[in-house]
Amino acid sequence: MKEISGIPASYGIAIGPAFVFGYAELDIETVAIEDPEAEWQRFEKARDSSRRQLDEAYRVTKEDCGEEAAEIFNAQKMMLDDPELIGTVKNRINGELINVESALYETAEAFARQLEAIEDEYLSARAVDIRDVSSRCLRNLLGLYDAPAAGLDKPSIIVAQDLTPSDTVLLNKDFVLGFCTAEGGSTSHTAILARGLGIPAVVGAGDQVQQIDQDDILVVDGDAGEVIINPDKESLQNFRTRQAHFLEVQAEAESISHKPAVTTDGHRVEVVANIGSEKGIEPALEAGAEGVGLLRSEFLYLERDSLPTEEEQYQKYKAIADAFGDKPVILRTLDIGGDKDIPYIDLPPEANPFLGVRAIRLCLERPDIFKPQLRAALRAGYGNNLKLMFPMVGTVEDVVRTRRVLEECRGELKEEGYEVADMMEIGIMIEIPSAAIVADKLAEEVDFFSIGTNDLSQYTMAADRTNAKVAPLASGFQPAVFRLIKTVIDAAHEKEKWVGLCGEMAGEMLAIPILLGLGLDEFSMNPPAIPFAKRLIRSISLEQAQKVAEHVLNLDSDQEIREYIQDAVPEVNLG
């Protein structure tokens, strides 16, 4: 029995034999040739076969997943016929008298690297496409095209380095129990597919994945991000029980996902979604979100060459806020600077970006960026329930200055004859310890707080959350962080203001009873967690949660808190 760990990408527990999705590693050798024309003919023939396969992939995908998903294969077909690619390959065959395999491999690789060098998510995905289509053509050239997916003849767990769209299109989805990949993150193709199919996945597990052999018995624990290879009888039994339990919990969660989150003793809280653009509307509503607790506005600013106009922002914000009708949508103003860069804003480099000119600090320095966003929000909030929230507030002065700019915008808009939201609620993120400490003062200035636990934890614990060595310190499961959260909630309630939480913690089952007990009013999380969070809240009492929270404040570590909660509130265990 061996255990490997990766990134949890889709909930649930899968148990079954491994289907190792291995193309034999392509071994491309450079060989001298004598007849370039014959070599060229081989290329033409391989491209013909590739084209036919791509047409088939397009057809199958369109039937299974719709036109948009299928479009990728048309794009790959264009790459296959790209004049620059073909021209370079032809020149190399003729000029260097080398085999087509080597000419194609190196040319495609060069294009892939150029695309990757631009550091843009969309173009990186196109680098995957050019490699995918070139490898398809190479397999056709080498006569290796026995689709590896064809060997999948029983329910199995798919194990792979990473899976491309070409790989997954041919998988018989009825036989896929779960996924385990060496590469990829929570937004990789495999992760998205797994969530779409509702099956567990662990991605980014690294080289350890190579230890898995064909037909090894695997357990994929999509909650913990762990994969167990050939578990012993006892732990297998254990996982089977957890799996059965998870399926029950999942069915139960889905059946109540559109009901309110009310504890057994009648205390109601709001469960809302974190979304990053208009694409998040549908998934959020389907999952049972009672609104949006965090609409990140960065999507409007990324992947472009200039600032978005007020009008453009207005259209987007309005469309999203209107889609939720009476339900609240909280727009967070631009959170950029520090480690998150936008080339056209031209930020000076800083020695310590996390402690530098970020978010509201940047916006207050740059009215040319800030004012169009505030104007757009004030206009978009007319006739719906849009609220505004400011990130990285550290002092009362930050709020006073921000409000001044906001009122200036409101006055200008009215003078220009626009209809604006007069009663729009204004809130701030609590993510800097100083803000938590003076929360009583801040509560006098705003309508609500939303606690950003990712940053609040790393600033409180002085631990970089991207540094694996200090990750347990930055996890947020620390008595110090929970005590700060309590301070914030108590200070807000004292002034009759409400408090939400939109960090990762809001969607973590282990944290929910504690936060509920501390008096949190709103839980904002990624949509897939919503049904599970509602189910948990509906299965416990506020009284029990308060006892648990009180106890946690006096524990001493991340580990102690987790163990205590699992024991004291068994409902947190999904599997």
Partner 1 sequence: MPEINLTVNHEVGLHARPASMFVQTAAKFSSDIEVTHGEKTANAKSILAVLTLGVHKGAKIHIKAAGDDEDEALQALEELVLSNFGEG
Q: What is the set of active-site residues?
A: 189, 502
CB of residue 286 to partner 1, shortest distance in Å: 24
Q: Residue 83, interface with partner 1 (CB under 8 A)?
A: yes
Cα of first residue to Cα of last residue in the chain, in angstroms, is 20
Q: From the CA atom positions of the chain, what is the Rg in Å?
A: 27
CB of 103 to partner 1, least distance (A): 15
Contact flags string 128-147 toward partner 1, x per CB under 8 A = --x-----------------
Interaction of residue 120 with partner 1, rule CB under 8 A: yes
Instruction: In angstroms, give the least distance from the CB of 89 to partner 1.
Output: 12
**Residue 375 touching partner 1 (CB under 8 A):** no
Residue 353 carries which side chain, given as an amino acid letter?
A: P
Given the complex with partner 1, which of 318 and 497 has the nearer CB atom?
A: 318
Burial bucket for residue 268 (CB in 10 Å: 0-12, 13-18, 19+): exposed
77 or 139: whose CB is closer to partner 1?
A: 77
d(CA 305, CA 303): 7
> How many alpha carbons fall within 13 Å on the CB side of residue 89?
30
Taking CB under 8 A as the binding criterion, the range among 18-26, 27-35, 83-91, 470-478 that sits at the site for partner 1 is: 83-91
Q: Which of 25, 27, 29, 84 binds partner 1 (CB under 8 A)?
A: 84
Tokens of 331: 């727009």
Question: What stretches of 66-186 show up as alpha helix (H) in DSSP?
Answer: 67-80, 83-96, 100-117, 121-142, 165-169
Residue 501 binding partner 1, by CB under 8 A? no
Give the binding range for partner 1 (CB under 8 A) out of 39-47, 67-75, 542-550, 553-561: 67-75
Tell me whether residue 55 or residue 419 sits nearer to partner 1 (CB atom). Answer: 55
- Output 315 or 454, the one with its CB closest to partner 1: 315
348 near partner 1, judged by CB under 8 A: no
Pairing relationship of beta strands 426-430 and 448-451 according to DSSP bridges = parallel
* Least Cβ distance, residue 303 to partner 1 (angstroms): 6
Q: Report the distance separating Cα 510 and Cα 531, nearest Å.
A: 15
* Near partner 1 by CB under 8 A: residue from 4, 13, 18, 85: 85
- The contact pattern for partner 1, residues 305-344, with x = CB under 8 A and - = no contact, is xx--------------------------------------
Contacts of 146 (CB under 8 A, 6+ apart): none
CA 118 to chain centre: 21
Q: CB 283 → partner 1: shortest distance, Å?
A: 20
Q: Does 79 bind partner 1 (CB under 8 A)?
A: yes
Q: CB of residue 309 vs partner 1: minimum separation in angstroms?
A: 9
Residue 82 lies near partner 1 (rule: CB under 8 A)? yes
> Judged by CB, which is closer to partner 1: 35, or 303?
303
Q: How far is residue 407 from each of residues 62, 374, 402, 422, 482, measured CA to CA in Å?
A: 50, 10, 9, 10, 35
Residue 115 in contact with partner 1, rule: CB under 8 A: yes
Nearest approach in angstroms of CB 314 to partner 1 is: 15
By CB under 8 A, name the one of 118, 251, 400, 480 that touches partner 1: 118
Cβ atoms < 10 Å from Cβ of 237: 11
Place of tokens 């309590």: 486
Instruction: Verify binding: residue 187, partner 1, rule CB under 8 A.
Output: no
Q: Which is nearer to partner 1, 74 or 238 (CB)?
A: 74
Question: In 152-185, which positions are buried (b, 16+ CB within 10 angstroms) versus exposed (e)?
Answer: beebbbbbbbbbbbbbbbbbeeeebbbbbbbbbe
Q: State yes or no: residue 75 binds partner 1 (CB under 8 A).
A: yes
- Beta carbon nearer to partner 1, 78 or 355: 78
- Residue 30 binds partner 1, judged by CB under 8 A: no
Sheet holding 2-5, edge to edge: 2-5, 226-229, 217-221, 13-20, 156-160, 176-181, 201-203, 7-10
| From 33, 65, 123, 197, residue interacting with partner 1 (rule: CB under 8 A) | 123
Tokens of 83: 């004049």
**In whole angstroms, how close is the CB of 82 to partner 1 at the nearest point?**
5
For the CB of residue 549, give the shortest distance to partner 1 in the complex, in Å: 45
Nearer to partner 1, 306 or 466 (CB): 306
Quote the tokens at residue 568: 């004291």
Q: Between 82 and 440, name the residue whose CB sits nearer to partner 1.
A: 82
* 129 backbone dihedrals φ, ψ, rounded to 5°: -65, -45
Q: Which among 11, 19, 10 is positioned nearest to 191, based on CA atoms?
A: 10
Q: Is 304 in the site for partner 1 (CB under 8 A)?
A: yes
The HSE-up count of residue 229 (CA atoms within 13 Å, CB side) is: 19
- Dihedral (C-alpha) 244, 245, 247, 248: value to the nearest 10 degrees? 120
Residues found near partner 1 in the complex (CB under 8 A) = 71, 74-75, 78-79, 82-85, 111, 114-115, 118, 120, 122-123, 126, 130, 303-306
